Amino acid sequence: MPARAIDSAKQTSETALADASAAMKNAAENPKQATQSFLHTPFVRAALPFINGGIAGMTATTVIQPVDMVKVRLQLAGEGVKTGPKPTPVSVFRDIVASGKVLDLYTGLSAGLLRQAVYTTARLGFFDTFMKSLTASAESKGQKIGFKERAGAGLAAGGLAAMVGNPADLALIRMQSDGLKPLAQRANYTSVVDALVRISKAEGVARLWAGCYPTVVRAMALNFGQLAFFSEAKNQLKDTSLSPKTQTLTASAVAGFFASFFSLPFDFVKTRLQKQTKAPDGSLPYKGMFDCFKQVARDEGLLRFYRGFGTYYVRIAPHAMVTLLVADYLGFITK
């Protein structure tokens, strides 16, 4: 290598080291400024909505997991029988605790956290990204975005995120429904990783996307109700005398109701499809989303789709409140 090239490389290396040393010195002397500089890099600004969404969703899931467990058991009770058992949230809760222990209410928490790490990270991240893009486009034309744009962003974000998160969602349903089977037939999954690996080996990797269609539709309906109505409600409440925190809580409660109403039938079908396993002859109880809707409507009645609406709302609304409050707070501190 020529001497000039060696000198040039040496000089470049020394400059890089000096810059790194100066950056570290500045960070040590003024950590707040260094943190702000890091948070405002293009890559971090693009990633923050996704990171904040994931943390918010995982926090909410940890709080709401017992309610979700009761909700799933309610949806699976009396399958295929119109005059079957009519459990209540209290009776389901009592049965779970009586047959095991209080911690059984947290069965599937690892799957729930993985689902949030994937699903909520994606849906809130995509929604925030879409909204920023739509807002910038509207402002460039001297306009403001309305409910139609918010709804479109919510539908798109929910659908995309649900496809990515379906395997974790399926593992969660399998783990939560396992306790309903006779002891000899239980899989006794030890974790979400164990469930995913064993389902893949026994039924094929494609099975991890069982119930994907209703999961996507459910996510789109839920996001339409949750994010679009939350954004719209906050917009309507911003000129009221309510404090910002009260506005967020009120908007979350409104969003939770509409999210529950629009998405529960699809959530019900999703649970049934993801719980089913192949019989010895290779057949499945339901051929798909529409077949499940038809069979349940015929054999169990239309109202079965809304069984446990109160429990579902108690699961959705607080989850929405915690998720959106944490996301709002994280968004505030990382501005």
90 with 162, same domain?
Answer: no
Q: Could you tell me if residue 271 is inside a domain?
A: no
Split at pLDDT 50, 70, 90, the class of 23 is very low
In a domain, 268, yes or no: no
Inter-residue contact 170 to 204 (CB < 8 Å): no
Residue 295 lies in a domain: no
d(CA 173, CA 196): 12
Residue 27 has what pLDDT?
42
For the cut 70, the answer to whether the pLDDT of residue 13 exceeds it is: no
- For the ranges 3-7, 94-98, 227-231, the lowest mean pLDDT is seen at 3-7
Structural domain count, the chain: 2
> In this predicted model, what pLDDT tens digit does every residue of 200-247 receive, in sequence order?
999 999 999 988 888 888 888 887 777 778 878 888 888 888 888 888
Tens digit of pLDDT for each residue in 273-314?
988 888 888 888 898 889 999 999 999 899 899 988 888 888
Q: Are residues 206 and 113 in the same domain?
A: yes
Among residues 195, 210, 225, which one ends one of the domains?
A: 210
Among 39-43, 228-232, 240-244, 250-254, name the one with the lowest average pLDDT. 39-43
Examine the fold and report which residue of 192, 210, 228 is the final residue of a domain before the chain moves on.
Answer: 210
Q: How confident is the model at residue 334 (pLDDT cuts 50, 70, 90)?
A: low
Residue 308 lies in a domain: no
Of 183, 210, 237, the domain-final residue: 210
Number of other CB atoms surrounding residue 250 within 10 Å? 17
Q: Are residues 57 and 118 in the same domain?
A: no
Among 33, 71, 94, 255, smallest CA distance to 172 is for 71
Residues 85 and 51 in one domain: yes
Is 256 part of a structural domain of the chain? Answer: no
pTM for the whole structure: 0.64
Q: What is the mean pLDDT of the chain?
A: 81
What count of other Cβ atoms lies within 10 Å of the Cβ of residue 140?
8
Domain that holds residue 154: 107-210
Residues 96, 142: one domain?
no
Angle at 242 between CA 121 and CA 313, to 5 degrees: 45
| Domain membership flag for residue 89 | yes
Which residues lie closer than 8 Å to 115 by C-beta, 6 or more apart? Answer: 61, 165, 168, 169, 172
Tokens of 326: 């944490």
**Residues 103-130, mean pLDDT to the nearest whole number:** 85
